Amino acid sequence: MNNCFYKITDDIAASLKNYLSRLDYSKIIFLVDENTANYCLPVITSDFNDDFLVADIRAGEEHKSLETTQGLWNILLGNEIDRNAILINLGGGTVSDIGGFVASTYKRGIRFLNVPTTLMSQIDASIGGKTGINYGGIKNIIGTIKEPEAIFVFPNFILTQELRELTSGFSEMIKHALLRGGRLWKRTREIRVFDINEIKSLIGDNIAVKFDFVSKDLYDKNIRHALNFGHTVGHAIESYRLSNGQKLLHGESVAIGMVIESVIAFRRGILKRNILQEIRDYIALFFDLPRIDNLDKIIGIMKNDKKNRNGKLRFTLLEDIGHYVLDVEIKVHEIYDAIAEYNLSYKSL
């Protein structure tokens, strides 16, 4: 990370107010969805002295679109927002992705802060400067890399989430633990049923993992590719299901991706069967994973993945818990074979 200020706080209103008091700005704009407008914005603004504007979008990945982006640009233009304004993204990954994109492109860039309200966004989506929208049926295909000026994490915001959304966020915790190994994997594996207090206790460790990768490779040229584990397959499945009205949450799709990509690593001979089984069994404790059909369309989406080079599919594969290899060229037949093996273990839709 470059100059991004970061804080985990038990008093989000006071922390944000204190931070803003040191800045010179013309206007504050809060970007919210209908959930954070109801449950999170009042926590911050009940004692907020400054005049502020609220811009709202609809919740859900399906609304991370060019149409929504244009609506937000129009709001900023209509309110004559200048380049000295600050946009505060109050929400989950959809809000921080689209808010960061709008802020980084409006008048060639205005400042923005992230206040993540979901488990997924607190440990992953709000960190690292990746912004973006979905386009042409492909997730995050249009975007920028622009860090927020600050990130404020208030863990109690995750208490506003439903269990399915929380479990989706836990998928990224599993990913971080598999990449880091050691103590973090041990602590994560000790969670056998979803316990909110145990999850909250791991937020700081997971943020540290994400910050570590990003600080070494902000622009995603090498080591940060490790964080793509589970995402090449996962994003393609998520994009396909979203376009067909069979929505899977991001973390659910990544969980599927981690299993399938681990099967590829096993079939390549670089991951032992007992480690593959350990990963599958642990993920299956939390995720009711569906059978994967329509492989041709899903692989077609993968062929537009941002990590590809020269038309070749590139994956991050595990060699062991805590050990991985980057940018492995994968053949299409390997994906077909791995999904076929995966399908033998999981139920039909």
pLDDT in tens, 5-50: 999 999 999 999 999 999 999 999 999 999 999 999 999 998 887 7
Q: pLDDT digit string (tens) for 236-261?
A: 999 999 888 788 999 999 999 999 99
Where b means 16+ CB within 10 Å and e means fewer, 182-198 reads eebbeebeebeeeeeee
* 3-state SS track over 107-146: HHCCEEEEEECCHHHHHHHCCCCECCEEECCEEEEECCEC
pLDDT in tens, 191-247: 998 899 999 999 999 999 999 999 999 999 999 999 999 999 999 999 999 888 788
Q: Does the structure show a pLDDT above 50 at 118?
A: yes
How many secondary structure helices (H) and strands (E) does the chain include? 15, 10
In three-state secondary structure terms, 214 is helix
Question: What are the extents of the domains in the chain?
Answer: 5-160, 163-345
pLDDT score at 348: 43
Q: What is the widest separation between alpha-carbon atoms in the chain?
A: 61
CATH number of 5-160: 3.40.50.1970
Asked whether the predicted pLDDT for residue 1 surpasses 70, the reply is no
**What backbone phi and psi angles, to 5 degrees, belong to 221?**
-100, -25
Confidence (pLDDT) at 344: 87
0.85 exceeded by pTM = yes
Mean pLDDT, residues 72-99: 98
Q: Which CATH architecture has domain 163-345?
A: Up-down Bundle (1.20)
Q: What are phi and psi of 73, to 5 degrees?
A: -55, -40
Mean pLDDT of 154-159: 97
Cα–Cα distance, 135 to 123 (Å, whole number) = 25
Residue 279 · residue 258 · CB < 8 Å:
yes
Q: Lowest-confidence range among 31-35, 82-86, 298-302, 321-325?
A: 298-302
Confidence at residue 349, expressed as pLDDT on a 0 to 100 scale: 35
Q: pLDDT at residue 287 above 60?
A: yes
Q: Would residue 13 be called left, alpha or beta, if left means φ above 0 and alpha means ψ between -120 and 50 degrees?
A: alpha
Which pLDDT score, from 0 to 100, does residue 75 have?
A: 98
